[in-house]
Amino acid sequence: MDFEVPDGGETIPLPGFAVVTGFFSVVGVATAMALLRWSTRPAQRFVWTAVSLTVTSSVPPLIAGADTTTAIALVGLHLLAAAVMIPALVRGLRGALAVLRPLG
């Protein structure tokens, strides 16, 4: 399958998926850490933030003019990454809260 987007007509390289997914996973970790530090309900706020950003990031593949198969695959990849990262980070936040709660 070629992941070609008509704006510029270039094919998205396969390693590009890993780089972008890794980058935004790091952004997710940083967001979770910030919420842990400054929020009273970090896990709940992280879920809302992450789900909102996942939905938002799923829009460009749908409106970029790519063919249906490419658009569905790109949205599916967004959802797959979110399905892995969001629960993992929420578990981490809840675990950190369980450790920190007795201290403070």
Q: What pLDDT score was predicted for residue 99?
A: 78
Give pLDDT tens digits for 63-100: 888 888 888 988 999 999 999 999 999 999 988 887 77
Structure-model confidence comparison of residues 8 and 40, the more confident one: 40
Rounded to two decimals, the pTM is: 0.83
pLDDT bracket for residue 47 (50, 70, 90):
very high
Question: Using an 8 Å Cβ cutoff, are 103 and 97 in contact?
Answer: no
pLDDT bracket for residue 103 (50, 70, 90):
low
Decide if pLDDT at 104 tops 90: no
